[in-house]
Amino acid sequence: MAKRSEDASISAEVIRNLPWWFIAIVLLGVYFVFLVFTNKLYGDVFAFLKDGVLTTIQITVTAYAFSITIGMFTGLALVSKNRLIYNIATFYVQVIRGIPILVIILYIAFAGVPLVVSGINLIGTTLSDMGILGVENIFVALQNRDISLLYRGVIALAISYGAFSAEIFRAGIQSIGHGQMEAAQSLGMSYIQAMRHIILPQAIRRVLPPLGNDLIAMLKESSLISALGVREITQMGKLYSAKSFEYLATYNVVAILYLTMTVLLSLGVRAMEKRFRIN
């Protein structure tokens, strides 16, 4: 009797600890696939949106690669003893984190990029007047239309998330004991050598999980680029629903596509956390 009671208790514990959230999402995904193959409306919506999935992935991967590069160098600047470098990095982080990402996207796309292009054109004109370059040089030839809205959106996302990544890298670097830097320098290493060979390898290991969470967030924030008319998932959903008036089916598919990608990334981040867990 006691044995039977113990087995029942173990079974109840196993059932209670099952990842019911994941099972529910899998069932939702199976039902979605069933709809796509059996329901003509959902099949048409998916066929229309699938190109947007590739664009969304392209935007996310490219912007994320640039953002963690910006974040790493800015994070190093945030722990720098050089007051000029520190203040420039802090100014960038505080300004970018204080402005909504949508505003940054619109500003960079319609104000920042044209301003930079005008500056490049001015450089080309100046060099031409000095006789260094010809009248029709590469700097003068550059026009606003040469930089697509997709690239402008990627630049804006990279700059936006670079500020958040910088804080992650700063926290990771500062989590390493000061004694390790002192020990490395006592062995004859310079500050740069110690940072490169001793501090950064440990810090990067610690910041990988939060950086993975940033990737998930960026995947979702990439939908904001639809404000520029870039044909990622959200924009494609807008276009299809506008011509078909099938809002429920369209945004059901849009939501499921984002959910599928974010759940897969979340599972990857969880696996990374277990792999790089700091004891």
Longest Cα separation, the chain: 99
Q: How far apart are CA 71 and CA 165, in angstroms?
A: 5
Q: How far apart are CA 157 and CA 214, in angstroms?
A: 11
> Count H helices, E strands: the chain?
13, 0
> H helices within 79-199, ranges in order?
83-97, 101-107, 113-129, 138-141, 149-174, 178-186, 191-194
Give the angle 171-66-56 at the CA atoms, nearest 5°: 115
Torsion of CA 254, 258, 259, 261, to 10 degrees: 140
DSSP letter, residue 130 = T
For residue 109 the two structure tokens come to 């796309």
CB atoms within 10 A of CB 235: 20
Those residues whose C-beta lies under 8 Å from the C-beta of residue 234, and which sit 6 or more positions away, are 52, 223, 226, 254
Residue 10: its pLDDT value, please?
A: 58
CB 149 within 8 A of CB 109: yes
Those residues whose C-beta lies under 8 Å from the C-beta of residue 213, and which sit 6 or more positions away, are 269
DSSP letter, residue 132 = S
Q: How far apart are CA 26 and CA 21, in angstroms?
A: 9
CB atoms within 10 A of CB 103: 12
Q: % helix / strand / coil in the chain, to the nearest 5? A: 85, 0, 15
pLDDT tens, the chain, 279 aa long: 555 555 556 566 666 666 677 778 888 888 888 888 888 888 899 999 988 999 999 999 999 999 999 999 999 899 888 899 999 999 999 999 999 999 999 999 999 999 999 888 888 888 887 877 777 778 888 888 888 999 999 999 999 999 999 999 988 888 877 777 777 777 777 777 777 777 878 888 888 888 888 899 999 999 999 999 899 999 999 999 998 898 998 999 999 999 989 988 888 888 877 776 654
For residue 77 the two structure tokens come to 């600047």
Q: Sign of the CA dihedral 260, 262, 265, 269?
A: negative
State how far Cα 176 lies from the chain centre: 25
Nearest to 113 by CA among 171, 167, 152, 81: 152
CA distances from 199 to 65, 171, 184 (A): 21, 12, 9
Residue 279: its pLDDT value, please?
A: 46
Q: How far apart are CA 132 and CA 141, in angstroms?
A: 16
Q: How far apart are CA 115 and CA 144, in angstroms?
A: 9
